[in-house]
A and B are shown apart, each in its own frame.
Chain A
Amino acid sequence: MTAAYEAPALRLSQGSPGARILAFGDYQPAKVVTNDDLAKIVDTSDEWIRSRVGIAERRIAGPEETVGDMAVQAGGKALAASGLSPEDIDLVIVATCSVETTIPNQAASVAHRLGVKAPAAFDLNAACAGFCYALETAASAVRAGSARNALVIGAEKMSNWIDWNDRSTCIIFADGAGAAVVTGAAEPGVGPVVWGSAGELADKITVADRRSFIKQEGQAVFRWATTAVAPVALEACERAGIAPDQLAAVVPHQANLRIVDAIARRLKAVNAVVADDIVHSGNTSAASIPMALSRMIERGDVPSGAPALLVGFGAGLSYAAQVIHLP
């Protein structure tokens, strides 16, 4: 028998009471693909696409343009708008599910290209819920003291997975990136997350392997999104102590305008601007929420400091929601 070992105590990092978002940024590829363009390659029409998914046009990256390239553009814009310099950032997260290769990850090289020196850097895959997952991860790191300032990017080249002969998916998905800079704050500016997954529905949205295309069981996903997501969003409001009628903006993942509308109806956020960025951007998975927010703020649609609800949902199936204060 040895004497009881007295372990030396470990110190913890000094964190922040809260985390808040300093700025958003967005990037879209130059090439616009309209519904009429799609009608030339698959059996569809502008009227059909608008009535089923609410999309008028989308942006598609060029063959040489990568997820990392778009992440750098959106991240750089958010960083510039934040007033911080690249040296201030010590955590970079890229939420994506459409990278060209998984080795190396995107986050480290994206950080390097932005001039961010030796940050903690990793990619995160929660598909269309990815930005909300990454935002919570960054906010938690700032509150815990494991990072001071974080750059959170959602970047997708969903066209990597598009079968241009499949009219049920090629009309929906698109490319782009959005980003946010997260820092410490005395008062919370990122509310408690409500997140989770439904792995029993994992086979409803899939890409089988690198040479395969994205497949989606439209009706099953639509049913889940229009019934299961609104309660998650409402719980995020409740945990943040914000009533739906106090929200200035509701930003659901831009999956399908009919899903966005169904979620908004159930929230009864009567004073909120509801994001409809999908109309001109398509479904850009993890990029859609920060992209929509960045553009809403740029247009002056929403007041600075007001509460906004973010809710991401998609393949996994995965979901996450939180209330933030707008920068």
Chain B
Amino acid sequence: MAVATEQEILDGLAEIIDEIVGIDKSEVTPEKSFVDDLDIDSLSMVEIAVAAQDKFGVEIPDDKLKDLKTVKDVIVYVQNLQQ
């Protein structure tokens, strides 16, 4: 898979979040916290991680999930593993 740009990862992530928890894509911006700003619980985070894995070809294991607090954290994580 080609390395995605920051914007492409953000758009992809917003699409996934919209699909799984029904939050509008425009709400998903890099500085947002999953738990505090977007009100996404730990089980939905697992579903998002699985969908992100399919979309970006990057595995996000459960023990990494707790470190990924913001949208930006996921973008950086995906970018680092894609490179």
Q: Is the CB of A219 within 8 A of B41?
A: no
Bin the interface of chain B by size: 10 to 19
Chain A residue contacts of B62, Cβ below 8 A: 217, 219-220, 223
Q: Is the CB of B42 within 8 A of A219?
A: yes
* Segment of B9-17, B23-31, B43-51, B74-82 in the binding face: B43-51
Q: Is the CB of A52 within 8 A of B41?
A: yes
Whether B35 is near chain A, meaning CB under 8 Å from some CB there, is: no
Whether B65 is near chain A, meaning CB under 8 Å from some CB there, is: yes
Report the bound CA distance from A151 to B59 in whole Å. Answer: 45
Report the bound CA distance from A17 to B35 in whole Å. Answer: 55
Whether A14 is near chain B, meaning CB under 8 Å from some CB there, is: no
Q: Is the CB of A223 within 8 A of B46?
A: yes
Bin the interface of chain A by size: 10 to 19
- Binary contact readout A222-265 vs B (1 if CB under 8 angstroms, 0 otherwise): 11001100000000000000000000000000001010001000
- A-B contacts besides A219-B45, A219-B62, 10 pairs, CB < 8 Å: A51-B41, A219-B42, A219-B43, A219-B65, A222-B43, A222-B46, A223-B49, A223-B62, A226-B46, A258-B43
Q: Closest 9 CB pairs between A and B?
A: A219-B62, A223-B46, A219-B46, A222-B46, A222-B43, A220-B62, A227-B50, A219-B42, A258-B43
Residues of A within 8 A of B (CB): 51-52, 217-220, 222-223, 226-227, 256, 258, 262
User: What are some 10 contacts across the A-B interface (CB < 8 A)?
Assistant: A51-B41, A52-B41, A219-B46, A222-B43, A222-B46, A223-B46, A223-B50, A226-B46, A256-B43, A258-B43
